[in-house]
Structure 1
Amino acid sequence: MTLRQRAGSLAGTTTAQRLRRAANLLNGSTLAGLAVALAARTDISQGPRGLLIAAGYRWRLPLAQAFTLGNVVLCRASAAELLSRPVLLGHEERHCSQYAWCLGLPFLPLYLAAAAWSMLRTGNPGTANIFERRAGLAAGGYPLRAGRQA
């Protein structure tokens, strides 16, 4: 991608989105996301608002239909399919911001601890997970109510 194309791909982004992108580059989380995307042989493309989309993710874990590492959104579907689901993409974008606020990769153990807490309380990793709640439970496909399934 040329400098002109890169500048054009960030046209229309807000200052906050550009800061998040820079923070996640500097804290290494986006580089980790690109490393996983390359190792998993995904198709990487420029997404909206400074995001990178790594489509065609086929590894078994995590089980989610989409997940983020820095500003990289890895998804099992094609980029076009993810872009056609703006609610899910918005949910994943909020996780990108969480990486920036957690100074990068420290987000991962914090997220896993929150998911474990949620499993203990509700029987699923999202409902009581502060990160999923802040990203939007319904948008991420999580049940809205706490409580164990019988």
Structure 2
Amino acid sequence: MVVLPHTPWTRLRTVVNWINLSTVLGLLVARFGGATRHRRGRGTVVCVGYRYGFPVASAFTIGNVIITKHDLDWMEDRPVLLQHEDRHCTQYAFLVGPVMLPLYFLSVGISYALAGDHSSFNPFERLAGLADGGYPPATTRFARRRSSQG
């Protein structure tokens, strides 16, 4: 794994995520899931080989910990996805810390109600970049129904 350099911004983010305990929680989830840790730089840790099927995502982030069921080569081949997950690290630090998890799941529910997917109306995914995370452009159930009729 290529180790990326720290910047003053990422140093601050790293410290805040340790203080707010979200990185600690991320490391515990990764360990519980049997994942192997690799330092990525910028204060992040990529944990590969996560063995559980929840959440259903190619990767997910808690604090400064990026977790995936895939192997390290798979993650390294997806630098845009890593950038997307890196943005979630910043969200944990400067938006809400570990309170992000319940807010994230609430946003998933709202997005499912409006769009039938977990990302279209999820502000955390939108701010991290939908396309970078591998998500389709935002839409609504109404817009999809209308386009299939016309």
Q: TM-score, normalised by structure 2?
A: 0.88
The CA deviation at 1:34 is 0.6
Matching residue of 2:35? 42
Q: What is the alpha-carbon distance in structure 2 between the residues aligned to residue 108 and residue 102 of structure 1?
A: 11
Match of 2:106 in 1: 113
Give every structure 1 segment of 4 or more consecutive aligned residues whose post-TM-superposition deviation is greater than 2 Å: none
Distance in 2 (alpha carbons) for counterparts of 1:81 and 1:125: 23
Aligned partner of residue 64 in structure 1, secondary structure: coil
Q: Say which is worse superposed, 139-148 or 111-120, in terms of deviation.
A: 139-148
Partner of residue 148, structure 2: none
Question: How many residue pairs were aligned?
Answer: 141
Among candidates 68, 80, 84, match of residue 87 of structure 1? 80
> What is the CA deviation profile of residues 24-50 of structure 1, one whole-angstrom value per residue up to 9, with x for unaligned ones?
011000000111111111110101321
CA contact (8 A) 2:11 2:43 kept: yes
- Between the aligned partners of 1:142 and 1:128, the Cα distance in structure 2 is 12
The 2-side partners of 1:124 and 1:140 are apart by 14
Query: What is the correspondence of 1:11-30 to structure 2 with a 5 Å cutoff?
Result: 12-30=5-23
AA of the residue aligned to 1:44: R
Partners of 1:24 and 1:123 lie apart in 2 by 31
State the 1:145 CA deviation: 2.9
Contact 2:119 2:138 in 1 (8 A): no
Task: State the identity as a percent.
Answer: 42
Q: Any unmatched runs of 5+ in structure 1?
A: 1-8
How far 1:103 moved relative to its partner? 3.7
Query: Retained in 2: the 8 A contact 1:27–1:103?
Result: no
Question: SS of the residue aligned with 1:59?
Answer: coil
State which of 59, 66, 69 in structure 2 corresponds to 1:66: 59
